[in-house]
Amino acid sequence: MTTNPAGPRLLGPVEVRQLAAELDLRPTKQRGQNFVIDANTVRRIVRESGISGDDVVVEVGPGLGSLTLALLEVARRVIAIELDPLLAERLPATIAAYAPAQADRFEVVMGDAMRVEELPGPAPTALVANLPYNVSVPVLIHLLTLLPSLERGLVMVQAEVADRLAAGPGSKTYGVPSVKAAWFADVRRAGAIGRNVFWPAPNVDSGLVAWTRREPPRTTATREEVFAVVDAAFAQRRKQVRAALRGVAGSAEVATAALESAGVDPTARGEVLTVGDFARIAEGLAAQGVHPSRPSGPA
């Protein structure tokens, strides 16, 4: 990774608090507003993400611009999605002041990342973000679904969520986020982040999750059908998958037939099944005339 000698100046504790004071900003837990105040941390996030000067990067929840400035040091272009109008309106001025040479490579989109349907400019190739912890998984799944051009990324989330996203079958932390993320990408834990690099300091630990896009399992089932099976299988973790799927299948007998045609032990539990297993189960249900669909709402 090379740094432009005329690259951005990064934000530290003094600058972050000064910007917040100018905006009369009081960070809210409701929107997961914990601003990074350590330049070494944002540089580390950019380095771990593996982005280069060819990448068009999507950032979610840029806040006051700490990570945005570090991304502009490296990326070809940064598109930031910000829900808070106060922050979205101020961000271009911050970029112009701290990264004048890169300001034309930056654009902010004001809106909810879970509801955005398109982004301006060239197709994005990477997602790098400090995701709001209360909506991190649905935002990640929505953007992976919406933007097939995304090839790689790194997100900072609550440590517990990072463990879930990166977990493999058989792990105690393996569940719905693990399987849904695995549909889109190879996912791995990429380190931990201390609480003292944030203002205000969160009351939970943070973790980095890196991912690389890969093709989903080859299946005749739709992603919605597979995800409906995943949701049902983990709705009651302790149940055997035959019993857990009885609701979507209509009966235990149909669920058993679908599982057997998929080559899955009906007495197994969801936490030992791979994303490929869930795809075959959805195919098995379709063969029985059952096409489950996910309820509307967060992933």
Tokens of 151: 């090839």
* Rounded Cα gap, residues 83 and 167, in angstroms: 30
* Confidence band, pLDDT 50/70/90 cuts, at residue 294: low
Which residues are bridge partners to 130 per DSSP? 156
pTM as predicted: 0.91
Asked whether the predicted pLDDT for residue 296 surpasses 50, the reply is: no
Tokens of 90: 């101020």
pLDDT in tens, 7-24: 899 999 999 999 999 999
Question: Is the CB of residue 113 less than 8 Å from the CB of residue 81?
Answer: yes
Q: Which pLDDT value is given to residue 297?
A: 43
Instruction: Give the burial string for 3-28 (b: 16+ CB within 10 Å, else e).
Output: eeeebbebbeeebbbebbeeeebebe
Asked whether the predicted pLDDT for residue 30 surpasses 80, the reply is: no
Question: Is the CB of residue 121 less than 8 Å from the CB of residue 180?
Answer: no
pLDDT in tens, 191-250: 999 999 999 888 899 999 999 999 999 999 999 999 999 999 999 878 999 999 999 999
* Rounded Cα gap, residues 47 and 64, in angstroms: 20
* Rounded Cα gap, residues 43 and 39, in angstroms: 6
What percentage of the chain's residues is helix, strand, coil (to nearest 5)?
Answer: 45, 15, 40
Total number of residues shown for the chain? 299
